[in-house]
Structure 1
Amino acid sequence: MHGSASSGWLLVALCAATGAYCLLRMRSSVEAQRRTAADEALMGFGMALMAVPAAAFTPPPWAWPAYAAVFGAAAVRALWTARTSTHHLHHLVGAGAMVYMALAMGGSPAHGHGGSGVPLLTGALLLYFAGYVLLTGVRLVPVPAVAASGGSETGTGGGSDGWGDRPELARACRLSMGIAMVAMLLTM
């Protein structure tokens, strides 16, 4: 992505930290949460790699089609799992946006960062993710405490429930990735 190096590194740090937290969420005892966390970890680390400032590292020409292939596969998986969960429709849009950005950046001069995408598609994705960020932010504010199934109020009783299964942290993770996606799309 083009832009200042300091904002690029902040975006890398945000996305990598989000991806790392999503890896921790994969320890959940709930299979659906593990799958969702895996999808979000892939998105977080992929976004971190794509956000590395061009001054620090210019990916080889084969990297952009590889990103497109990985996120294309993630989009197919999200489409398949969207049959049972509407949240995976968001993963489908996110993976599709990553494919779009990878192809746009791969088609830019010298295969550098900051490709020039289709303005209408970029605008539509910006509107979607800006709306997603606002909606997720509103949902994050009044999250009530949820008692664990084992009867413990701390969320640590009755299994591996803990801070990795807290819904407000998962929402904050999704919010930060949405904000990062908006920032990445703005540089298109």
Structure 2
Amino acid sequence: MHGPTSPGWLLVVLCAATGAYCLLRMRSTLEEQRRTAGGEALMGFGMAAMAVPAAALAPPRWAWLAYAAVFGTAALHALWAARTGAHHLHHLVGASAMVYMAAVMASGAHAGVPVLTGVLLVYFTGYVLWTGTRLVPVAVGGHQGGVRTTGWGDRLELARACRLSMGIGMLAMLLTL
């Protein structure tokens, strides 16, 4: 993506760490966590790969087309999954935004369509603010000897923090577009 190198690398680290935690969530005992964790891991690692500063590595055009194909497939999967839950609509918007950014980068343009970029910025700003308000810790897990235990993959507040960091990352990427 376009933009300064240092913040770009910080964004890469943030997105990769988020993707790694989402992989851990795939081992959760909660079905809801497992169901969404795979798509969120793909999004985290994909955002990390796309956020590598252009000054450090300028991917060839075919790499951007591959990103568009991968996230286009993820968008279709999210559209199909949206039949069962509203959260998948957010995955649809996120994957579609990634397709849009990859298409802009593949075209060699240094800016996207201002109206579309603006709509995505408004959506992700609202999402970040809404998700940030939901970071209150949630008690989950079973009881062992009167003590409530929760595995790393079952911590809903950590999952929300990951979603928040990916939303912030998406804002950063859209701003540099």
Same fold (TM over 0.5): yes
In the alignment, what sits opposite 2:159?
170
In structure 1, the gaps of 5 or more residues are 110-114, 157-161
1:155 lines up with 2:144 in the alignment? no
Matched, 1:132 2:127: yes
Q: Please say if residues 5 and 55 of structure 2, whose CA atoms lie closer than 8 Å, have aligned partners that are also in contact.
A: yes
Determine if contact 2:24/2:152 at 8 Å carries over to the other structure: no
Listed one character per residue, the Cα deviations across residues 81-140 of structure 1 (whole Å, up to 9, x for unaligned) are 11001000000000000000000011115xxxxx31000000000000000000000111
Q: TM-score, normalised by structure 1?
A: 0.89
Deviation at 1:167, TM superposition (A): 0.4
Distance, in Å, in 2 between the alignment partners of 1:32 and 1:39 is 12
Matches of residues 99-110 of structure 1 in structure 2 within 5 Å? 99-108=99-108
Q: Which residue of 2 aligns with 1:180?
A: 169
Preserved contact between residue 138 and residue 155 of structure 2 (Cα < 8 Å): no
* Deviation of 1:21 (Å): 0.4
Which 4+ residue blocks in structure 1 deviate beyond 3 angstroms?
none
The 5 Å alignment of 1:46-65 reads: 46-65=46-65
Between the two proteins, the alignment pairs up a number of residues equal to 175
CA RMSD of aligned residues (A): 1.2
Gaps of 5+ in 2: none
For residues 76 and 176 of structure 1, the distance between their equivalents in structure 2, rounded to whole angstroms, comes to 23
Asked if 1:94 is matched to 2:94, the reply is yes
TM-score by length of 2: 0.95
Deviation at 1:76, TM superposition (A): 0.4
Question: Paired residue for 1:67?
Answer: 67
